[in-house]
Amino acid sequence: KRVAIFISGGGSNMVSLLDSMTGDHPARPCLVLSNKADAGGLARAAERGVPTAVVDHKPFGGDREAFQEALQAELENAAPDILCLAGFMRVLTGSFTSRWEGRMLNIHPSLLPKYRGLHTHARALEAGDAEHGCTVHEVTAELDDGPILGQATVPVLPGDTPDALAARVLVQEHRLYPAVLRRFAGGNREMLRLSEA
């Protein structure tokens, strides 16, 4: 299976995915694409010999469809079987997600369906949750709402700040996403539950 990964920033999840696709893993990376030319993850992908591309969303203004057509053109080249969003910060509309339905994953830093959208760690702290975590789900037209493929939980600790909690969740993201991708690439869509080791 060929995997394309979309990023917008440092790409720590992308690195975890790249480094997991070795040996008898059924998938290999074919592209890392960013909507930001200065995304740190692009250099980390290039270091690992993975082709990269940039499709800057800004020249398209608010024309999401045109931006998505440009994304699709890059994907036609790379011909991935699976698309992994990893810290990709652009909302994708139904015309794009419908083309990739069932073949596109995303990682979200909360225990969905709680806290769709942004600022998830602050919201979990605000709510006084004892537990928090991350979710890998299939991407649909609804934001952060597709079928859940895996979740990892962490405890919320006294005195946690959003940054401390985010850092604890990120460690689990780097465990969960590779584990879910390996199963998904092998055709296994059973829900995976991890808890902090």
Nearest to 92 by CA among 51, 34, 141: 141
- Helices 120-127 and 162-185 pack at an angle, to 10 degrees, of 120
Q: Does 87 bind ligand GRF (CB under 6 A)?
A: yes
Phi/psi of residue 90, each to 5°?
-110, 135
Q: Is 108 a catalytic residue?
A: yes
Q: Is 11 annotated as a binding residue?
A: yes
Q: Looking at 57, 108, 121, 137, which residue is catalytic?
A: 108
Q: Is 61 annotated as a binding residue?
A: no
Nearest to 168 by CA among 158, 181, 156, 184: 156
Q: Does 86 bind ligand GRF (CB under 6 A)?
A: yes
Q: How far is the CB of 177 from ligand GRF (least distance, A)?
A: 9
Nearer to ligand GRF, 69 or 123 (CB): 123
Contact range with ligand GRF by CB under 6 A, out of 12-20, 29-37, 64-72, 153-161: 12-20
Q: Does 13 bind ligand GRF (CB under 6 A)?
A: yes
- Judged by CB under 6 A, the chain residues 113 through 172 that form the site for ligand GRF are 166, 170
Question: Catalytic residue positions?
Answer: 108
Q: Give the binding site for ligand GRF (CB under 6 A).
A: 7, 9-14, 86-87, 107, 109, 166, 170, 173
Annotated binding-site residues read 11-13, 64, 106
